[in-house]
């Protein structure tokens, strides 16, 4: 059978295990020899025990677990050609020419570069006698399929990345818990949520928790936001509300591109309204714990589709990413999605907010 390996790379997210499980089982079902690569690209570079054959039962009882049981890492070695050369050798020695990468845009870009270089890497391995001519010929094509695992929902091309829904649940539960204590003491709470440069988690949880104000990177507030914020908070209190909730995305910025932090927002509220104000930074709680039903199903569907995409790949097939489009699993050209995702970052850096929002699209 064909050699296929799956690995998770970059920050972990809930639902990655469901995806790994689906890849392993679908690939076994279709007659492949399947491997785990542990600790992301680092395991591919280091080889040895990091590359382990998987069987049907090695992915039993993982679907309900958060994180990734095969480990993940942000790897520097793979960024160098010498690292990628070692990785290529490790794959050829095990007959692996099909890769499923579950990670963010950086991890997927790395995979695409690896695929483009594959031929020249094998040539170098042959020249240095690390592989023989038969191996060079037999393993000449490397197929790659990506899946986006991230709580941030920051990847263009997919409606939802694997992990986002679970993070939303976790944030929503945390806000619900805060609301009860805020109510008792008539306090204002500022909640800082993750998302890196993407405001999705902040925006959606603001909607689900009746927050009074939200700060996100893609749509910086008007310059007089302190006045607007205070007016809004006061209005709510006058209307009889006993508390206020403000959500600040960790990547929130103002119209000059400068950070708006929870601490700054607190200062504005305290100085102008003298409200009893607290900050809660949710942190990695958002990335941990059991995956939601949505993320488990998403991981399963994406994983199965990824294997099918690999099995159908021809030498002409571009590396693709399996995405969710209107509740359908679809295959999109990997680099197109990566480029679009980079264009969002550029629009934000150029302070072209409308363009940034437009490019984010549904995701
Ligand atoms: O990309 C996922 C994420 O959790 C972001 O929301 C956050 O900014 C970052 O990773 C935190 O990174 P680390 O886990 O390395 O602290």
Residues having CB within 6 Å of any atom of ligand 1 = 11, 150-152, 194-196, 250, 287
User: pLDDT, tens digit, for every residue of 292-319?
Assistant: 999 999 999 999 999 999 999 998 898 9
Model pLDDT, residue 168 = 98
Model pLDDT, residue 144 = 96
ipTM above 0.90, yes or no: yes
Q: How far is the CA of 11 from the centre of ligand 1 (A)?
A: 6
| 141 pLDDT higher than 60 | yes
Q: How far is the CA of 283 from the centre of ligand 1 (A)?
A: 9
Mean pLDDT of 346-360: 93
25 — pLDDT class (breaks 50, 70, 90): very high
User: What number does the ligand 1 atom closest to the CA of 10 have?
Assistant: 1
User: pLDDT, tens digit, for every residue of 97-116?
Assistant: 999 999 998 899 899 999 99
Residue among 155, 202, 287 whose CB has most ligand 1 atoms within 8 A, to mutate: 287
- Protein residue whose Cα sits closest to atom 8 of ligand 1: 196
Q: How far is the CA of 47 from the centre of ligand 1 (A)?
A: 26
Check if the beta carbon of residue 309 is closer than 8 Å to that of residue 99: no
- β-strand partners of 277: 188
Residue among 74, 152, 259 whose CB has most ligand 1 atoms within 8 A, to mutate: 152
Residue among 8, 9, 10, 11 whose CB has most ligand 1 atoms within 8 A, to mutate: 11
Average pLDDT value for the chain? 96
| 48 pLDDT higher than 70 | yes
Q: Is 62 left (phi over 0), alpha (psi -120 to 50) or beta?
A: alpha
Of 104, 192, 88, nearest to 140 by C-alpha is 88
Q: How far is the CA of 150 from the centre of ligand 1 (A)?
A: 9
| 358 pLDDT higher than 80 | yes
User: What number does the ligand 1 atom closest to the CA of 104 have?
Assistant: 1
- Protein residue whose Cα sits closest to atom 10 of ligand 1: 11
- Protein residue whose Cα sits closest to atom 15 of ligand 1: 11
Model pLDDT, residue 363 = 54
Model pLDDT, residue 249 = 98
Percent of the chain with pLDDT strictly greater than 70? 99
Mean pLDDT of 272-294: 97
Mean pLDDT of 200-223: 97
User: pLDDT, tens digit, for every residue of 234-278?
Assistant: 999 999 999 999 999 999 999 999 999 999 999 999 999 999 999
Of 205, 60, 9, nearest to 213 by C-alpha is 205
H runs (alpha helix) in 128-153: 133-138
Q: Please list the active-site residues.
A: 152
| Lookup result for tokens 């480990």 | 71
Check if the beta carbon of residue 29 is closer than 8 Å to that of residue 59: no
| 173 pLDDT higher than 80 | yes
Model pLDDT, residue 315 = 87
Model pLDDT, residue 288 = 94
| 47 pLDDT higher than 90 | yes
Of 109, 147, 111, 144, nearest to 15 by C-alpha is 147
Mean pLDDT of 83-95: 98
| 190 pLDDT higher than 80 | yes
Model pLDDT, residue 362 = 55
Mean pLDDT of 348-353: 94
Check if the beta carbon of residue 55 is closer than 8 Å to that of residue 28: yes
Q: How far is the CA of 7 from the centre of ligand 1 (A)?
A: 19
């Amino acid at each position: 059978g064909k050699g296929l390996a799956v690995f998770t790379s970059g920050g972990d997210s809930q639902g990655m295990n469901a995806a790994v499980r689906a890849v392993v089982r679908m690939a076994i079902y279709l007659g492949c020899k399947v491997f785990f690569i542990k600790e992301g690209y680092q395991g591919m570079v280091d080889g040895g025990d990091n590359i382990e054959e998987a069987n049907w039962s090695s992915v039993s009882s993982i679907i309900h677990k958060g994180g990734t049981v095969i480990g993940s890492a942000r790897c520097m070695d793979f960024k160098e050609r010498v690292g990628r050369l070692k990785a290529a050798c490790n794959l050829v020695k095990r007959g692996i020419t099909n890769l499923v990468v579950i990670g963010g845009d950086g991890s997927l870009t790395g995979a695409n570069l690896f695929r483009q270089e594959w031929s020249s890497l094998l040539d170098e391995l042959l020249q240095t006698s690390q592989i023989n001519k038969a191996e060079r010929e037999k393993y000449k094509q490397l197929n790659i399929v990506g899946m986006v695992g991230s709580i941030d929902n920051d990847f263009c091309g997919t409606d939802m990345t694997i992990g986002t829904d679970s993070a939303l649940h976790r944030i929503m539960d945390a806000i619900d818990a805060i609301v009860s204590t805020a109510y008792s003491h008539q306090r204002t709470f500022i909640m800082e949520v993750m998302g890196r440069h993407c405001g999705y988690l902040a925006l959606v949880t603001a909607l689900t928790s009746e927050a009074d104000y939200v700060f996100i990177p893609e749509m910086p507030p008007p310059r007089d936001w302190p006045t607007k914020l205070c007016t809004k908070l006061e209005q709510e209190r006058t209307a009889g509300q006993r508390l206020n909730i403000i959500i600040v995305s960790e990547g929130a910025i103002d119209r000059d591109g400068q950070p708006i932090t929870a601490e700054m927002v607190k200062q504005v509220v305290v100085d102008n309204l003298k409200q009893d104000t607290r900050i809660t930074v949710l942190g990695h709680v958002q990335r941990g714990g059991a995956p939601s039903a949505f993320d488990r199903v998403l991981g399963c569907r994406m994983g199965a589709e990824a294997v099918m995409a690999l099995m159908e790949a021809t030498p002409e097939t571009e590396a693709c990413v399996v995405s969710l489009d209107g509740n359908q699993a679809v295959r999109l050209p990997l680099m197109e999605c990566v480029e679009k995702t980079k264009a969002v970052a550029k629009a934000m850096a150029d302070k072209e907010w409308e363009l940034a929002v437009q490019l984010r699209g549904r995701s």
